[in-house]
Amino acid sequence: MINVGNPIIFINASDIGLCGDENTLEIDKLDILENIRCVGGVKMGLGKDINDMKNRPATPKISFLNEPIDYLTSS
């Protein structure tokens, strides 16, 4: 976790079953991300508890890290 300007939680993609080429719709279906975001926000001091963090949906941000892979752009 890093709290600099925009608080961000960095997650190894493979730790949550991702490989790095998922589209937005696939990522939005992962309920675990909201849980990680809320717990991380509490640990960063952005909210007093998980319920408090649910009322603050914009931060912290989530970022995925993974080994480089080939991919096709959406365009």
Using one digit for the tens of pLDDT, what is the confidence trace for 1-28? 666 678 899 999 999 988 878 888 888 8
Confidence of residue 34 (pLDDT cuts 50, 70, 90): very high
Pairing between β-strand 2-4 and β-strand 6-12 as defined by DSSP bridges: antiparallel
Both tokens assigned to 72: 């096709």
Phi-psi region of 5 (alpha: psi -120 to 50; beta: other; left: phi over 0): left
CA-CA distance, 39 to 60, in Å (whole number)? 10
The more confident residue out of 44 and 1 is: 44
The pTM score is 0.79
Q: What's the pLDDT at 45?
A: 93
